[in-house]
Amino acid sequence: MRLSRAWLRSTKTVALLAWLGGCAPSLSTFQTAAVPPTGHFSASVGVEGSIPLGTLSDVYTTGDNVLKKAESGQALTTAEKWQAFDSGMEVLLSPPAPGYHFAFAYVPWRRLEVSLRYASSALRVGSRYQLLDRNAGAPFDLSAGVGVARFTYAIPIGDYLPILKVDDFTRWQLDVPLLIGLQNRWFRTWFGPRFLATFFDSALRLDLKVEDRVLASMSGSAYYVGGQGGIGFGYRWVFLAFELTVTELIGSAKFEASALQDSPSHTVDLSGLVIYPTLGLMGEF
């Protein structure tokens, strides 16, 4: 039986978005508010997912319409070329897809923790300090920290937009976790504000059948501002936990394309609401 072109495109898109789970910025903290005792280790492993709202309709409608026109051999207007670039950036920076999370931390000094995490193809180095300790008489645990992450990857975005290619995509991230929480031997919960800043740059290439390719450089920044909360159940060393992060994405990307003489620069808005759930295991040893 011959498969329809639309079905093949849908299947390819689903596979691409699943692969892109390694591209969305990880908004998960997946730590309690309490730093373990001196000399102890903690670790976590989980599955996380990005659900951007307000972006999907642009990606599927605008990008697909431009793609169909280009595939039919028709020339694109300057506005449509920028729409193709816009759709590519939305898929690159905020894909609706699952991801993964692996983290390891150690406490070399009292109340001070250093950590290493690999999530969404990004390697993050971080540290945090416990400001209030419930075991020392405080009403709750309170910790604050900072983390820096960097990741680069070659993304096959052409599987969704065959006319668009991506080169040299690079992203840096900075996050500042602040958590309040309570815990005992079988239960733990935490919540707090969530802030993450990301800075990125890339080069994109628009390959058209009836026109010369269009090269564009891109750079931008985005800020995720919101809150998160988590809950875990287990006993002493291992807990099954769920965390939910909800943030507002505020940012933009600027393109420069000298070939588009009537409109050589263009700015795309990256704003929108992002929901980010995480489910996994947390352990302390």
How would DSSP label each residue in the chain? -PPPHHHHHHHHHHHHHHHGGGTSPP------SSPPPTT-EEEEEEEEE-EEESSHHIIIIIHHHHHHHHHTTPPPPHHHHHHHHHHHHHHHHS---EEEEEEEEEEEETTEEEEEEEETTEEEEEEEEEEE-GGGT-SSEEEEEEEEEEEEE---GGGT-TTEEEEEEEEEEEE--EEEEEE-SSEEEEEEEEEEEEEEEEEEEE--SSS--EEEEEEEEEEEEEEEEEEEEEETTEEEEEEEEEEEEEEEEEEE-TT-TTS-EEEEE--EEEEEEEEEEEEE-
Question: Is residue 33, in this structure, part of any structural domain at all?
Answer: no
Q: What percent of the chain has pLDDT over 90?
A: 49
Residue 149 in any domain: the answer is yes
Task: Give the Cα separation of 282 and 285 in Å (integer).
Answer: 10
**pLDDT at residue 19 in the model:** 43
**R_g over Cα of the chain:** 22
Inside any domain, residue 31:
no
pLDDT value of position 155: 61
pTM: 0.85
Is 244 among the domain residues? yes
Whether 277 maps to a domain, the answer reads yes
User: Could you list the residue range(s) of the whole structural domain that residue 82 is in?
Assistant: 5-21+38-284
Residue 192 in contact with residue 33, Cβ under 8 Å? yes
On whether residue 124 sits in a domain, the answer given is yes
Checking if the pLDDT of 21 tops 50, the result is no
Any domain includes 192: yes
- Write the pLDDT tens digit of every residue in 45-85: 999 988 888 665 565 567 777 877 877 778 888 888 888 88
pLDDT at 12 over 50: no
Structure confidence at residue 208 (pLDDT):
79
Give the CA distances from residue 44 to residues 29, 102, 175, 184, 192, in Å, rounded to whole numbers and listed in that order. 10, 6, 18, 18, 19
On average, the pLDDT of the chain sits at: 84
Residue 30: inside a domain? no
Task: Give the number of domains in the chain.
Answer: 1
